[in-house]
């Protein structure tokens, strides 16, 4: 029974996440960028833009220039999240890939740095007048959601172990469209439920910054407007 | 006038983040465009009864035709990194002048009508209905943004509030709520050819006066040709260069450089304006219409190259958009980029050694350089990335012995706006302009105290006008702002130039 409920939930969440993201990315990609608006100084070549983007998404370069505290907390959170996600791959693969084994110890403790980052961001949202001013309830809820996921996850790892072997076989089953059973562990229920919620709000919330950053014209355009003519289809129509 | 009761903010460097003063600038609002001004641009003359539907339709259109608009409205995570980056916020403390809060004025409406979360959970994501009050708020705060892009440098996703401001102004224009200053000026360009409405006759007389003035000063006849068919170079320069100080000294500088380089050049009376305020109101159609005048002038005069004079946003439109808006330029000489900046031309001549320069002519000046936003953050110069920072400085260092940069976090890509850009250079906004200039003035004071800097040079007509108005409020003379080519003009010794300057040289060497 429990297994079926969560199976449905996860199929739904995965569908919403994938469908939502594909539609958004497709929309972004299809909308014309009529004028060249890279924030200068911008790279003169595609390779240069590629590296600019790598620096943005791997090191949060602009944020670093902007505000060291937000950078510290934001970067810590995101990188920890990647480690944690990578570690979780072990529950979806059999046999477990070598590099996932390698990441395992880092991914485990990254739960704490992740919480630290979230706590820092949240504290700023409450304490710093300017950031409090621009925050909506959804901004706090998003932090609460992530915090809930991190805490419930860490609980199962460090406080009250869940039957992880059963969880893994449930997940492997789901991937082969076989619905198995889940251990009736409340912490696990909370953890999985929150993750499913996160997946579902992804395409309708500010989490769209993840695909958005790659489509941001101020960051992804090459500075070559004197060398190459750029005309968007709709503005070409105005030309005749 | 409002200017008199402006309290001039006293800031200190490093710039402090102000305490929030909610509503401090809520009353700031520029004059509305008359129906005649609106009509010239193809916009309705007054607020239409169905304005709300039209505004929403325009938002939808923008979301579908301009990637930046939709991505920027979706992607903001409210991290707050941009909150202290706007000079208007630093100068006024009004929280709605924080870039993200300025975007939110429009984002809240976009969310309400066009996103799942805003349609079903408006209270959760700060979405709100579009009402008359919202529209008035837009009018006020989207006219407190100089579209300088400083916020976009510091946003982790490059979200550019300037794009949102332009979009908001376009939405307001199509529902009949235009701004007088910009729209009146654009109308003049469409009808006459320049922002001032300066007719060909008056322009010719002005240029002739300048020729006489140069000859009196130097004994050399330097030409400022108008509408000369078959010239190699078309110079497109802001019309302020024809009449305002210190702009006009810059124009004299370009003429001297062209003269010494032996270049054949001309100004066009049909395209006698580099500025393109179509940018400020986010109107692709109007921007294109203005840009096409340059194309027609270039074709009619049969020139081979186009060079732009000192103007910030004009250089953005020229460098980044001209090919898109008015190209292809296949009838021009392919050996030169289209268009070129006058600084590129001059720096090239300096490197070639064509100019005879006597730096000591500028020895009474301790100089700094103000990077104009649109040059610094929205265009380029030369072949190298960041040429827009290097080339003007190289020129200044080549013609002036005492050059000092302002603090690094206030120049180049982090430059602080003059406070008057983006269509805000109008008297009724003087209070905002003074407050918006205060961060830049604070950085300037820093180098005045440290190095005794007396003057600041710029390559933007708006910056120059704005500074000559506001600098006196910060204890500088109004002529402390200079054109870059004014300094070039001072230092050039023309071939055959007589006595006057030699004496100065001698004097200078005696005092040394
Ligand atoms: S573009 Fe400039 S003026 Fe406008 S919000 Fe950003 S920093 Fe402020
Ligand atoms: S820096 Fe960018 S993402 Fe952060 S609040 Fe400002 S606009 Fe939003």
Q: Could you tell me if residue B240 is inside a domain?
A: yes
B167, B69 contact by CB (below 8 A): yes
Residue B421 belongs to some domain of the structure: no
B67 touches chain A (CB under 8 A): yes
Q: Which residues pair with B266 in a beta bridge?
A: B234
Name B42's Cβ contacts closer than 8 Å, sequence gap at least 6: B285, B286
Q: Are residues B175 and B201 in the same domain?
A: no
Residue B391 lies in a domain: yes
pLDDT of residue B43: 97
Rounded distance, CA A13 to CA A27, Å? Answer: 21
Q: Strands, E, within B175-236: which ranges?
A: 233-236
Q: Measured between CB atoms, which of A65, A133, A141 is closest to B20?
A: A133
Whether the Cβ atoms of residue A146 and residue A122 lie closer than 8 Å to each other: no
CA within 13 Å, CB half, A212: 23
Interchain contact, B125 vs A218, CB within 8 Å = no
DSSP for residue B411 = S
Backbone angles phi, psi at A9, to 5 degrees: -55, -45
- Interval between CA B39 and ligand 2 midpoint (Å): 37
Q: Is the same domain home to B213 and B75?
A: no
Residue B460 half-sphere exposure, CB side, CA atoms within 13 Å?
28
B 266-305 residues inside an 8 A Cβ radius of A: 284-285, 288
Q: What values do phi and psi take at B483, rounded to 5?
A: -80, 145
Find tokens 């055959």 and name the residue. B496
Q: Are residues B480 and B503 in the same domain?
A: yes
Number of helices (H) and strands (E), helices first, in chain B?
A: 23, 7
Q: Are A117 and A84 in contact (CB under 8 A)?
A: no
Residues of B in contact with A40 (CB under 8 A): 376-380, 388, 413
In a domain, B361, yes or no: yes
B354 touching A, CB under 8 A? no
B44/B159 same-domain check: yes
Please count the other Cβ atoms lying within 10 Å of the Cβ belonging to residue A75.
17
Give the pLDDT band of residue B28 (cuts 50, 70, 90). Answer: very high
**Residue-wise pLDDT tens digits, B415-451:** 999 999 999 999 999 999 999 999 999 999 999 999 9
Separation CA B144–CA B454 (nearest Å): 29
pLDDT at B356: 96
User: B224 and B160, same structural domain?
Assistant: no
Interface with B, mutate which of A226, A230, A237, A240 (most B CBs under 10 A)? A226
- Tokens 């062209």 correspond to B258
CA distance B336 to chain A (A): 10
Give percent of chain B with pLDDT exceeding 90: 92
Atom of ligand 2 nearest to the CA of B75: 3
Residue nearest to atom 8 of ligand 2 (CA): B76
With cut-offs at 50, 70 and 90, classify the pLDDT of residue A236. Answer: low
CA distance B425 to B435: 13
Q: What is the pLDDT of residue B510?
A: 39
* Distance between CA atoms of residues B121 and B379, nearest Å: 41
Does residue B483 sit at the A interface (CB-CB below 8 Å)? no
At B454-477, the pLDDT tens digits run 999 999 999 999 999 999 999 999
Using pLDDT thresholds of 50, 70 and 90, give the confidence band for residue B10.
confident
Cα separation, B273 vs B242, whole angstroms: 10
Q: What is the pLDDT of residues B390-405, one digit of tens each?
A: 999 999 999 999 999 9
Residue numbers in B near A209 (CB within 8 A): 74-77, 156-157
Using DSSP bridges, classify how beta strands B305-308 and B233-236 pair: parallel, antiparallel or unpaired: parallel
* DSSP strands (E only) in B421-498: 455-458, 481-483
CA B287 to chain centre: 15
Q: Calculate helix-pair angle for B387-399, B342-352, nearest 10 degrees.
A: 50
pLDDT digits (tens, 9 = 90+) for A122-144: 999 999 999 999 999 999 999 99
Minimum CA–CA partner of B323 in chain A: A229
Q: What is the pLDDT confidence band of residue B326, given thresholds at 50, 70 and 90? A: very high
Task: Give the residue extent of every domain in chain A.
Answer: 2-26+45-218
Tokens of B453: 């800097």
Supply the pLDDT for residue A231: 87
Nearest ligand to the C-alpha of residue B71?
Answer: 2
ipTM of the complex: 0.95
- The total of other beta-carbon atoms located within 10 Å of residue B334's CB is 10
The per-residue pLDDT for range B104-117, each reduced to its tens digit, is 999 999 999 999 99
Separation of A182 CA from ligand 1 center, angstroms? Answer: 53
Among B164, B320, B325, B328, the residue to mutate for chain A (most A Cβ within 10 A)? B320
Q: Which residues of B touch A63 (CB under 8 A)?
A: 79, 81, 154, 156
Q: Minimal CA–CA distance to A34: which of B232, B159, B158, B323? A: B323
CA B413 – CA B109 distance, rounded (Å): 31
Neighbours of A238 (CB within 10 A): 14
Mean pLDDT of B229-245: 96
Q: Is the CB of B78 under 6 A from ligand 2?
A: yes
Pair B15, B442: CB distance under 8 Å: yes
Tell me which of B7-21, B44-58, B235-249 is least confident: B7-21
The answer to whether A127 faces chain B, any CB pair under 8 Å, is no
Sole residue written with tokens 């350089």? B369
Of the two residues A127 and A239, the one the predictor is more confident about is A127
Nearest to B348 by CA among B161, B226, B488: B488
Question: Is the Cβ–Cβ distance between B424 and B141 less than 8 Å?
Answer: no
What pLDDT was estimated at residue B512?
36
**pLDDT tens-digit map of A194-219:** 999 999 999 999 999 999 999 999 99
Which residues in A lie closer than 8 A to residue B288 (C-beta atoms)? Answer: 235, 238
Mean pLDDT of the A113-120 span: 98
What residues of chain B lie within 8 A of the CB of A139, using their CB?
78
Structure tokens at A44: 């003169």
Ligand of minimum distance to the alpha carbon of B159: 2
Q: Are residues B496 and B352 in the same domain?
A: yes
DSSP conformation letters of B367-385: EEE---HHHHHH---SSST
Q: Which residue stretches of chain A are H helix? A: 2-30, 46-54, 61-66, 68-88, 98-127, 129-134, 137-154, 164-175, 186-201, 209-215, 217-220, 233-237
Do residues B231 and B272 share a domain? yes
CA-nearest residue, atom 8 of ligand 1: B86
Mean pLDDT of A101-122: 97
Paired tokens of B187? 């109308």
**DSSP 8-state secondary structure symbol assigned to residue B457:** E
- pLDDT for residue B505 is more than 50: no
Tell whether B312 and B339 lie within a shared domain: yes
Give residues with Cβ within 8 angstroms of B57, minimum separation 6.
Answer: none
Q: Note whether B391 and B485 are same-domain residues.
A: yes
| Cβ B141 vs Cβ B107: under 8 Å | no
pLDDT of B297 strictly over 80: yes
Could you tell me if B373 and B419 are in contact, meaning their C-beta atoms sit under 8 angstroms apart?
A: no
Is residue A52 a contact partner of residue A43, using CB atoms and an 8 Å limit? yes
Q: What is the pLDDT of residue B197?
A: 83
What is the Å distance from ligand 1's center to B97 Cα?
Answer: 8
Biggest alpha carbon distance in chain B? 80
Could you tell me if residue B289 is inside a domain? yes
Among protein residues, the one with the nearest Cα to ligand 1's atom 6 is: B151
Please say whether the dihedral angle defined by the alpha carbons of residues A113, A116, A117 and A118, taken in this order, is positive or negative: positive
pLDDT of residue B511: 38
Interface test with A, best of B69, B72, B157, B329 (most A CBs within 10 A): B157
- Split into its structural domains, chain B has a count of 2
pLDDT at B501 over 70: no
Contacts of A160 (CB under 8 A, 6+ apart): A185, A187
Q: Is B261 exposed, middle or buried (0-12, 13-18, 19+ CB in 10 A)?
A: middle
What's the pLDDT at B5? 55
- Nearest-CA distance A112 → chain B (Å): 21
Residues of A in contact with B70 (CB under 8 A): 27-28, 31
B383 C-alpha vs ligand 1 centroid, how far in Å? Answer: 28
C-alpha–C-alpha distance, residues B427 and B31, integer Å: 10
* pLDDT average, residue stretch B341-351: 98
The secondary structure of residue A156, as a DSSP letter, is: I
Q: pLDDT-based confidence at A233, cuts 50/70/90? A: confident
- What's the mean pLDDT when you consider all of chain B? 94
What is the spatial distance between Cα B120 and Cα B227, in angstroms, rounded to a whole number? 61
Integer Cα distance of B202 and B206 in angstroms: 6
Question: The whole model's pTM is what?
Answer: 0.94
Q: Do B161 and B114 lie in a common domain?
A: yes
- Nearest CA to A219 out of A62, A77, A91, A72 is that of A62
Q: What is the CATH number of domain A2-26+45-218?
A: 1.20.950.20
pLDDT higher than threshold 90 for residue B351: yes
- Over residues B132-153, the pLDDT tens digits come to 999 999 999 999 999 999 999 9
Cβ(A222)–Cβ(A49) under 8 Å? yes
Same domain (yes/no): B137, B79: yes
Burial category of B200 from C-beta neighbours within 10 Å (exposed 0-12, middle 13-18, buried 19 and up):
middle
- Going from the Cα of B396 to the center of ligand 2, the distance in angstroms, rounded, reads 36
Q: Which two tokens stand for residue A37?
A: 């608006």
Distances (CA, A) of A194 to A180, A200, B51, B58, B202: 20, 10, 42, 38, 72
Confidence at residue B104, expressed as pLDDT on a 0 to 100 scale: 98
**CB proximity under 8 Å: A 221-240 to B:** 223, 225-227, 229-232, 234-235, 238
Give the residue from B20, B80, B340 with the most A CB atoms within 10 Å of its CB, the best one to mutate.
B80
Q: Shortest CB distance from A33 goes to which of B63, B68, B158? A: B68
What whole-number distance in Å separates Cα of residue A143 and Cα of residue A118? 7
Using the predicted structure, report yes or no on whether residue B503 has a pLDDT greater than 70.
no
Measured in degrees and rounded to the nearest 5, phi and psi for residue B150 equal: -65, -40
Residue B506, pLDDT score: 40
B114 to B60, B70, B302: CA distances (angstroms): 8, 10, 49
Angle at B479 between CA B473 and CA B481, to 5 degrees: 85
Based on the fold, state whether residues B143 and B265 are members of the same structural domain: no
Residue at which a domain ends, from B185, B214, B239: B185
Structural tokens at position B483: 């054109």
The last residue of a domain, from among B150, B185, B220: B185
- Is the distance from the beta carbon of residue B80 to the nearest atom of ligand 2 less than 6 Å? yes
User: Which domain, by its residues, includes B377?
Assistant: 192-404+453-511
């Amino acid at each position: 029974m429990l297994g079926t409920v969560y199976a449905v939930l996860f199929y739904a969440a995965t569908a919403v996440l994938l469908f939502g993201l594909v539609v958004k990315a497709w929309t972004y990609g299809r909308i014309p960028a009529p004028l060249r608006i890279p924030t200068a100084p911008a790279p003169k070549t595609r390779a240069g833009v590629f590296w600019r983007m790598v620096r943005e998404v791997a090191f949060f370069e602009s944020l670093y220039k902007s505000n060291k505290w937000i950078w510290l907390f934001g970067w810590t959170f995101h990188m920890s999240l990647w480690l944690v996600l990578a570690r979780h791959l072990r529950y979806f693969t059999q046999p477990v890939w070598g590099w996932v084994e390698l990441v395992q110890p880092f991914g485990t403790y990254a739960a704490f740095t992740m919480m630290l980052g979230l706590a820092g961001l949240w504290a700023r949202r409450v304490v710093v007048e300017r950031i409090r001013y621009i925050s909506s309830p959804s901004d706090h809820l998003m932090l609460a959601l992530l915090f809930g996921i991190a805490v419930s996850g860490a609980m199962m790892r460090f406080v009250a172990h869940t039957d992880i072997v059963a969880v893994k076989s449930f997940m492997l089953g789901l991937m082969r469209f076989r619905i198995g059973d889940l251990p009736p562990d409340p912490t696990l229920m909370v953890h999985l439920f929150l993750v499913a919620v996160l997946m579902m709000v992804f395409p309708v919330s500010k989490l769209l910054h993840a695909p958005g950053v790659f489509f941001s014209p101020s960051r992804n355009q090459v500075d070559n407007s004197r060398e190459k003519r750029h005309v968007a289809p709709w503005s070409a129509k105005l030309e005749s | 006038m409002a200017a008199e009761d402006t309290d001039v903010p006293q800031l200190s460097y490093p710039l402090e983040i102000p305490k929030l003063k909610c509503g401090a600038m809520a009353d700031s609002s520029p004059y509305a465009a008359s129906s005649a001004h609106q009509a010239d641009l193809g916009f309705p003359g007054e607020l239409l009864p169905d304005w709300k539907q039209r505004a929403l339709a325009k938002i939808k259109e923008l979301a579908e035709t301009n990637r930046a608009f939709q991505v920027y409205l979706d992607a903001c995570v409210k991290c707050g990194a941009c909150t202290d980056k706007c000079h208007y916020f630093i100068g006024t403390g009004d929280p709605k002048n924080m870039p993200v809060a300025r975007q939110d004025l429009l984002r809240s409406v976009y969310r309400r009508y066009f996103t799942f979360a805003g349609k079903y959970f408006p209270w959760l994501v700060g979405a709100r209905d579009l009402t008359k009050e919202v529209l008035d708020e837009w009018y006020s705060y989207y006219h407190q943004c100089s579209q300088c892009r400083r916020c976009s440098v510091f946003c982790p996703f490059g979200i550019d509030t300037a794009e949102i401001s332009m979009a908001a102004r376009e939405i307001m224009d199509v529902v009949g709520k235009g701004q007088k200053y910009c729209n009146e000026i654009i109308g003049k360009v469409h009808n006459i050819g320049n922002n001032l409405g300066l007719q060909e006759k008056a322009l010719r007389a002005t240029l002739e006066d300048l020729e006489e003035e140069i000859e009196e000063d130097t004994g050399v006849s330097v030409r400022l040709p108008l509408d000369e068919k078959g010239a190699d170079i078309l110079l497109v320069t802001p019309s302020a260069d024809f009449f305002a100080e210190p702009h006009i000294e810059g124009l004299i500088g370009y003429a001297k450089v062209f003269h010494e380089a032996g270049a054949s050049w001309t100004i066009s009376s049909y395209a006698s304006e580099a500025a393109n305020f179509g940018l400020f109101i986010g109107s692709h159609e109007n921007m294109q219409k203005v840009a096409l005048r340059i194309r027609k002038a270039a074709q009619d005069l049969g020139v081979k190259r186009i060079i732009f004079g000192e103007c910030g946003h004009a250089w953005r439109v020229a460098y980044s958009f001209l090919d898109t808006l008015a190209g292809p330029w296949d009838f021009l000489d392919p050996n030169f980029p289209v268009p070129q900046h006058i600084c590129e031309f001059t720096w090239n001549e300096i490197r070639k050694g064509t100019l005879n320069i006597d730096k000591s002519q500028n020895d009474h000046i301790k100089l700094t350089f103000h990077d104009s936003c649109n040059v610094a953050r929205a265009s380029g110069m030369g072949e190298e990335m960041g040429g827009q920072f290097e080339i003007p400085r190289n020129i200044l260092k080549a013609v002036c012995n005492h050059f000092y940069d302002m603090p690094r976090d206030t120049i180049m890509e982090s430059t602080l706006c003059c406070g008057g850009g983006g269509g805000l250079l109008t008297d009724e906004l003087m209070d905002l302009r003074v407050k918006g200039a205060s961060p830049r003035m604070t950085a300037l004071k820093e180098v005045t105290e440290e190095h005794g800097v007396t003057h600041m040079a710029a390559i933007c007509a708006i910056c120059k006008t704005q500074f000559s108005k506001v600098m006196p409020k910060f204890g500088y003379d109004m002529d402390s702002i200079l054109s870059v080519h004014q300094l070039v003009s001072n230092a050039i010794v023309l071939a055959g130039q007589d006595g006057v300057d030699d004496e100065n040289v001698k004097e200078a060497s005696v005092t040394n």
